[in-house]
Chain A
Amino acid sequence: MILDFIRMSWRGIKTRKARSTLTVLGIVIGVAAVVALIAIAQGMQATMEREFEAIGYDTVFVIPGEAPQGMQAMPDRMRRLAFFGGGSEGAVLDLSRLKGLPQVEAVGAIRTETAIITAPGLEGQGFLRVTGLSSGITQGFPSYFSGFSLAGGRGFGEGDEFVVILGPKVAEDFGVSVGDRITIENKEVEVIGILEESEDGGMQRGLPGDPNYGIYLPIAAVDSLFGEPGKVSLALVKAAEGADVKRVSQLVEQAMATAGTPVTTTTVQEMAEMATRMLSSVQAVLAAIAAISLLVGAIGIMNTMYTAVLERVREIGIMKAVGAKKKHILSLFLLESGLVGLIGGVLGVIVGVALASVAGRLISGSMNVGPMAGGFSFSAVFPAELIVGALALSFGLGALAGVWPAQRAARLSPVEALRYE
């Protein structure tokens, strides 16, 4: 019996092709929006988790100086965000104090400066950012450098000082290869390695800049070129296994404050929480927009079904005259509106998946500019629950939108319905 009813409902939809198509379109847009937005948000969540996971939840970021005065008033999470931006001036820190802490396994330092560079391929001089890396970084935080694979040459070794590893694009711009020399701050340095090109901007997690354009030196070289030995832009501390990372970050702050060089710390856990919070609020806004478009689609169905009932009053009368009960008429119209919803849902899911995939690519491209550049490869995620849920939702919404018109149809008196012209 249910199959017969579905067949009859389907016929109802087919007989008003244009109107059904437009109604379905309304639902398609709504469902596509919901699916795409959720898939993208889930993809972002997954990407972030992967990134933070890779950095390691045992990592504490240490930035010299207290959080700037103006920003202190701002919510904690916003202050933390400034970290990611690498907006630190840098300060001389005695990191050896941290190595003494029992809960600390490794400490690494990064110093970034802007240098005057001359190279064979450069016309005149270039002002470019150079990054000094301590051996603690390259050895103690291997995951931090998971994308640091060399296309040629070698990595930093013991006793290296005036050597440089270049990103592939900057090497091309400089017109140099392994063994060539460039000058940084009037000092000749040898190119000992060139990185492999990273398509998605690389996995140089947390480091500012795109590694394709990176200019990396041992931190000692940066110290002697720019003076102020021991100056650090960003330090990384790895908590010992089993240690409370939050506690470690507090100990680090205390130790450095005692040394007279206050620092601010944040843990990967905190960053993940902050990012999740931000993402959730963005998601909530997007979900609300998607919900509105779904609602509009549902009202479209309701409108169409209502018109359909008016158009088919006589038909309803006929069906009643030949023995249709209220529940028969009710289920016919509910099924019809549910089917409209479901068709919209199926198409909406297809469109949404396509949209999210394309958007995923665009987002991953656009993420690779600005301070967070280089860290993200992104793709939308389509869990089965999302697909099944979207289909169930669209059928349910369609049926729900049909309740009122269907009830009207079911309540019609057969005699009056038959008299209706």
Chain B
Amino acid sequence: MVELVEAVKTYKLGKTEVRALRGVSLSVKEGEFVAIMGPSGSGKSTLLHVIGCLDRPDQGRVYLNGQEVSGLSEDRLAEFRGKFVGFVFQTFNLVPTLSALENVELPMTFQGVPRKRRLALARELLVQVGLGERLRHRPAELSGGERQRVAIARALVNDPKLILADEPTGNLDSVSGAQVMELLKGLNEEQDKTLIVVTHDPEIASYAGRTVHIRDGRIQEVAEVQT
């Protein structure tokens, strides 16, 4: 499902060069739930961006679903991530001017899905994450946990095989955090979505079937976790 071969990524932050990935190789099978752990600045978010086609590695190769994506143009990448990857972010990243329903609709708009179908599907997914009563609310009118559930619904609209979550519980209290994690785990178990979660919280990592540790841009160990 996901295959990274010696991926290297360096970016500039102001004048300093940050060597975020220094040759990462990683393989994730279809239907797996993998946690990527590491301290802040270890490169775990960059790793997630590269896997999710938000960014391209400077060196090395990335394969998603058997296709090499590391050489694709920006627009082809956009198309690919639109269809194949669902993102869940720590800061939710909802569009503040759009309602919950419209936020969930958004990815389908760019895929050219007709409006009727978009509305029906967005509504269905929001009901599924328990927000059937909150369709017309703006993000600012929702609690953190509710916002993250909107984001999860949005991640699911194009029925992606891969869901990537970057500290999905980082801005949530423990109760809503647990709800979100249960929701994600359910997607992995019941809908067979491949799930990769970046976190620095061992408790969150404990939901995963496997944990990958990253430090200074390198994978340190691959541990199996029994749940």
**Segment touching B, from A21-29, A172-180, A203-211, A322-330:** A322-330
Q: Is A181 located at the chain interface by the 8 A CB criterion?
A: no
Q: Is A81 located at the chain interface by the 8 A CB criterion?
A: no
A320 (CB) vs chain B CBs: closest residue: B78
Q: Is the CB of B98 within 8 A of A11?
A: yes
Q: Is A1 located at the chain interface by the 8 A CB criterion?
A: yes
Inside 8 A of B89's CB, which chain A residues have their CB?
A: 321, 418
The complex places the Cα of A325 from the Cα of B83 at a distance, in Å, of: 12
The complex places the Cα of A314 from the Cα of B97 at a distance, in Å, of: 12
| A325/B81 contact (C-beta < 8 A), A1-B109, A11-B97, A318-B95 known | no
Q: Is A319 located at the chain interface by the 8 A CB criterion?
A: yes
Q: Is the CB of A322 within 8 A of B94?
A: no
Q: Is the CB of A321 within 8 A of B54?
A: yes
A1, A318, A327, A414 — most chain B CB neighbours (10 Å):
A318
Q: Is B133 located at the chain interface by the 8 A CB criterion?
A: no
Q: Is the CB of A4 within 8 A of B109?
A: yes
Q: Is A315 located at the chain interface by the 8 A CB criterion?
A: yes
A326 (CB) vs chain B CBs: closest residue: B75
Proximity bits, B29-63, A CB within 8 Å = 1, else 0: 00000000000000000000100001100000000
The complex places the Cα of A323 from the Cα of B83 at a distance, in Å, of: 8
Q: Is B107 located at the chain interface by the 8 A CB criterion?
A: yes
Q: Is A69 located at the chain interface by the 8 A CB criterion?
A: no
Q: Is the CB of B93 within 8 A of A314?
A: yes
| Interface residue from B81, B82, B95, B110 paired with A315 (Cβ < 8 Å) | B95
CB distance from B140 to the nearest CB of A (A): 12
Inside 8 A of A12's CB, which chain B residues have their CB?
A: 97
CB distance from B103 to the nearest CB of A (A): 9
Query: Could you write out 18 A-B pairs with CB less than 8 Å apart?
Result: A4-B115, A315-B96, A315-B97, A318-B95, A318-B106, A319-B106, A321-B87, A322-B82, A322-B110, A323-B81, A323-B83, A323-B110, A325-B75, A327-B75, A415-B49, A418-B54, A418-B89, A418-B93
* Extra A-B contacts (13), CB below 8 Å, given A414-B78, A415-B55: A4-B115, A317-B93, A320-B78, A321-B81, A322-B82, A322-B87, A323-B107, A324-B78, A325-B79, A325-B110, A326-B75, A415-B49, A418-B93
Residues in chain B within 8 A of chain A (CB atoms): 49, 54-55, 74-75, 78-79, 81-83, 87, 89, 93-98, 106-107, 109-112, 115, 154, 158
Residues in chain A within 8 A of chain B (CB atoms): 1, 3-4, 8, 11-12, 15, 314-315, 317-328, 413-415, 418
